[in-house]
Amino acid sequence: MTVREINFDGIIGPSHNYAGLSSGNLASKRNAGAISYPRAAALQGIEKMRGNLRLGLKQGIFLPHWRPDGAWLAQLGTDIGGAEPHLRAAAMSASSMWAANAATVSPASDTADGRTHLTIANLVTMPHRSHEWPQTLAQLQVAFSAKDVFAVHPPIPAPFGDEGAANHMRLSDRHDEAGVEIFVYGQSGGLFPARQHIEASKAVARRHRLDPARTIFARQSDEAIDAGAFHNDVVAVANETVLFAHEHAFADRATFYDALREAMPSVCIIEVPAAEVSLADAIRSYLFNAQLVTLPEGGMALVVPTEARATPRVWRWLEALIAGNGPIRRIIPVDIRQSMANGGGPACLRLRVVADPADIDPRFLVDEARLDRIAAVIAEYWPEQIDPSSLDDTRLIARIEQSWLTLVDHLQLSGDLIP
């Protein structure tokens, strides 16, 4: 058995648009009403995946969701033609592209039954995301169907908000060894809603049958949430023995760091001081919403959006980090500007799963040749641009639906995923 970390990226869907639906997500609100470019967005995502493959990483995909979500609108007593604009926009949202919110994942080495556990996120805090879970569950049940290896759980029930891996970190000396799992939750009362509830995090830990001695619950700071860090992965990221975080990421960082060092003495905490990189700069550049990955040749790379390079104080800090010859050896900028304009960086686009690739449905795994074929479908079928005021255009809707059907048929998943 060959256990590896696999990055599953969400393919950016043909309905990608800027309707500004996400409260607390500053980029989403800032670009509300702007023209989006779904074809360019999806191809940028494909190039990001190519970059991972060229680093020697294992790469998977999740498909866009069927849009518009007519079943959800029907539950609300309407349809895409008759829905009020805010409901129409929610039904057309392509936000499932951010695979970090698909589920929380605990690898087999951490769980009492020796299976990899995945709990689908309920995303109940935001209406446009609250109806994602049925299609996410359907995909993950196909991709991880080996029940002796995987346990795929439905969402935690409302009202306990759960936003998946975006509020979960895992540290271990090796990916395939028992680790320490960290659940980061928020508290309401500030400028923006706290999307991750502690009760949801505790429920996921119980479901996954984690060792309480190797499970930590840490509260995200109100300051970070109010600054626009709507998920923990906007201010912190972890990989193997490294925690990379902003000074103001956690409400009581001293207590959290002490608990982490006790559970895992080998941990290396790299904290970025607020005096050198402000929360505003960290969130504008998505410095921490990066993929921190282990390279096959040793050492780690930080895959950051190009916005990090365009933010001088952030880039200077990263250059100093590399010069220090610590565990992070390379900084790799990627162009995902269409995703960034809606508030999602490299970390948002991927869900990490530690497993044997042979246990996963091969239709969800890709190499460069397969990405070439997917890119060809996107280039031919995805809309070039979308004005969010035109989401009721029947020609646009027909094109979005045909784009999805063509991709799913190309990937030979029509029999499993047709809504």
| Cα separation, 28 vs 153, whole angstroms | 30
At residue 193 the predicted structure's pLDDT band, cuts being 50, 70 and 90, is confident
In the prediction, which pLDDT does 50 show? 98
| pLDDT over 90 percentage in the chain | 90
Q: 190 pLDDT exceeds 80?
A: no
pLDDT tens-digit readout, 72-111: 999 999 999 999 999 999 999 999 999 999 999 999 999 9
pLDDT tens-digit readout, 382-402: 999 999 999 999 999 999 999
> Cis bond leading into 159, ω under 30°?
yes
Q: Residue 159 in contact with residue 176, Cβ under 8 Å?
A: no
Angle CA(120)–CA(364)–CA(129) in degrees, nearest 5?
A: 35
In the prediction, which pLDDT does 188 show? 66
CATH code of residue 203:
3.75.10.20
In the prediction, which pLDDT does 24 show? 81
**Which structural domain range is residue 88 located in?**
4-417
What tokens were used for 377? 């479908």
Q: Is 221 helix (H, G, I), strand (E, B) or coil?
A: coil
Q: Is 348 a catalytic residue?
A: yes
Can you say whether the dihedral through the CA atoms of 331, 332, 333, 338 is positive or negative? negative
In the prediction, which pLDDT does 176 show? 80
Place of tokens 């800090």: 317
Q: Is 231 a catalytic residue?
A: yes
Catalytic pick from 16, 117, 197, 231?
231
In the prediction, which pLDDT does 194 show? 85
Sequence letter at residue 386:
I
At residue 417 the predicted structure's pLDDT band, cuts being 50, 70 and 90, is confident
Of 247, 107, 115, the closest CA to residue 168 belongs to 107
Q: Is 91 helix (H, G, I), strand (E, B) or coil?
A: helix
In the prediction, which pLDDT does 26 show? 76
* Contacts with 278 (C-beta within 8 Å, 6 or more apart), sequence order: 313
Q: Is 163 a catalytic residue?
A: yes
| Cα separation, 115 vs 118, whole angstroms | 10
Q: 189 pLDDT exceeds 80?
A: no
| Cα separation, 220 vs 183, whole angstroms | 10
Residue 394: other Cβ atoms inside 10 A: 9
| Cα separation, 121 vs 104, whole angstroms | 7
Q: Is 213 helix (H, G, I), strand (E, B) or coil?
A: helix
| Cα separation, 87 vs 110, whole angstroms | 40
Sequence letter at residue 357:
P
In the prediction, which pLDDT does 416 show? 85
* Contacts with 207 (C-beta within 8 Å, 6 or more apart), sequence order: 117, 119, 153
110-114: long-range contacts (C-beta < 8 A, 24 or more apart)? 110/170, 110/178, 110/179, 110/181, 110/208, 110/210, 110/211, 110/214, 111/208, 111/209, 111/210, 112/209, 112/210, 112/211, 113/151, 113/209
Give the chain's domain count.
Answer: 1
In the prediction, which pLDDT does 101 show? 98
| Cα separation, 406 vs 411, whole angstroms | 9
Q: 414 pLDDT exceeds 70?
A: yes
In the prediction, which pLDDT does 110 show? 98
What tokens were used for 388? 């969010």
Catalytic pick from 132, 163, 247, 307?
163
Of 90, 61, 13, 4, the closest CA to residue 403 belongs to 13
| Cα separation, 373 vs 209, whole angstroms | 40
394-403: long-range contacts (C-beta < 8 A, 24 or more apart)? 394/81, 397/68, 397/80, 399/14, 400/13, 400/14, 400/15, 400/67, 400/68, 400/92, 401/66, 401/67, 403/14, 403/377
Please report, for residues 156, 173, 224, 246, 248, the alpha-carbon distance to residue 277 in angstroms, rounded to integers and kept in the order given: 36, 28, 13, 8, 11
